Structure 1
């Protein structure tokens, strides 16, 4: 079997659907079906059975799909070790990055690191912090950038602490906040809990929600256009002069902060690219 065959099995087991798997692999459905038949012929077993609701794995197929994850992990490690034999900082660097960090912080960081180590190849996976946390925990990425309070058993560095603020074009008296239209947006559950707790500590009535939007980027544009207020990390409005920002505090008067952490395993530091990147990030924060 070829490397790509293990990828096919892994993705098909994930989606349990020929169409979605073909889309994820950027190949046609006939090509995917042909590849599956080739694998079955080579191994002499039936791997999947097609039904009205997708594909079903046979016992042999279940075994192969679960083995695919281990095979691909081992192949990746072998390639990384081979590229790591020389002393030069080169080869792949797999990063898991939260969506917010990707937009507002990551491009400048990668540009600066790439100028110093041009032979490093970035492989970036973005998503919610909970997803990134899982990626780095399962060693699918070397380093994860996670926002919020997540437990971690190994190495971690606090990179940023951002004040949380009420942002609005209109000048707002916090005592009258429940009477003003609020813009809600989808966010991580720890941050949503932080906002909800702050609200219930300060108000006995629910917020007056004027609109619900899909993400913080959309919320930012709504704020700038004067369509309401929102509770957001202050950094996302850096450089926007016409928006009023009021940092909020807890009951003891301490500022509410959203933290961004860098997570990784100590064992990953034997790779030159990982060690160089960790050093680069920690030196930048000093």
Structure 2
């Protein structure tokens, strides 16, 4: 079994479909089927059953597919350590990045790093912060960028602190908020909890959600067109003019702040590529990156 075989098992297990798996692997269906037969011959077991609804893994096949995640990660670590022995800044940097950071900071950040280290490649996984922190815990990524406060015992650097605002195109009063149309959006559980707790502390009525969208950026654009108010992190509003903003505050008047962190395992700094990236983040001015 080579790393390509483990990748075949991993991909087919997630896709549960020969056609989709072959497309994702950029190989033909006959080539994928032939590869499966070779793996079955090597282990002397049947790995999948084929039916109208796709493929179903046998118990032996499911075990092998689950081993694939571990084997591929192990192979990746081996490759990283071998490259590291050459004392060069080269290889693939695995990053886990929160959705917001991906949209507003990551492209410019990676370009600057690539300019300094042209032999670097990136593998980027994006998602909600609560999903990204799990990737960091499991060492599926070298470095993670997350929003909000999570328990973390490894390396950690605070990148941003930003207020959370009620934003609208017209001046509004806090007392009137339950009666005004709100443009809500899907976000990570951490921010959702902060906003919901603030609302519960200040109002007995639920918000009047008139529009529910998938992203904060969409909510921002609708708010900017006068369709209602939105509760958004400050950085998202920096490019808008003539927007009325009210900072969310605690009962004792302190602004509610959302933090952005870079987290990593300390031992991963032994890899040249990770150490170079962390040091790069620590010395640049992220506020200026667009």
Q: TM-score, normalised by structure 1?
A: 0.93
What is the match of residue 71 of structure 1?
71
Q: Any idea what SS the aligned residue of 2:209 has? A: strand
Q: Write the mapping of 1:64-213 to structure 2, written as runs, cut at 5 A.
A: 64-213=64-213
What is the match of residue 42 of structure 2?
42
What is the match of residue 14 of structure 2?
14
2:218 equivalent to 1:242: no
2:233 equivalent to 1:233: yes
Kindly tell me: are residues 157 and 200 of structure 1, through their superposed partners in 2, closer, same or farther at Cα, counting changes over 3 Å? same
Q: Unpaired segments of 5 or more residues in structure 1? A: none
The structural deviation recorded for 1:32 is 2.7
The structural deviation recorded for 1:53 is 4.2
Q: Any idea what SS the aligned residue of 2:131 has? A: helix
CA deviation map 1:118-176 (0-9, x unaligned) = 22212211111122111111111100111112212322111111110011111111121
Q: Unpaired segments of 5 or more residues in structure 2? A: none
Give the Cα separation in 2 of the matches to 1:105 and 1:13.
34
Q: Any idea what SS the aligned residue of 2:206 has? A: coil
Give the Cα separation in 2 of the matches to 1:86 and 1:2.
24
Give the Cα separation in 1 of the matches to 2:56 and 2:130.
29
Q: Write the mapping of 1:19-38 to structure 2, written as runs, cut at 5 A.
A: 19-38=19-38
Give the Cα separation in 1 of the matches to 2:204 and 2:61.
56
Q: TM-score, normalised by structure 2?
A: 0.92
Give the Cα separation in 2 of the matches to 1:62 and 1:209.
44
The structural deviation recorded for 1:6 is 0.2
Q: How many residues align?
A: 286
Q: Any idea what SS the aligned residue of 2:284 has? A: helix
Give the Cα separation in 1 of the matches to 2:74 and 2:190.
34
CA deviation map 1:223-254 (0-9, x unaligned) = 11111111000110112112212211111111
The structural deviation recorded for 1:46 is 1.1
CA contact (8 A) 1:159 1:285 kept: no
Superposition CA RMSD, Å: 1.9
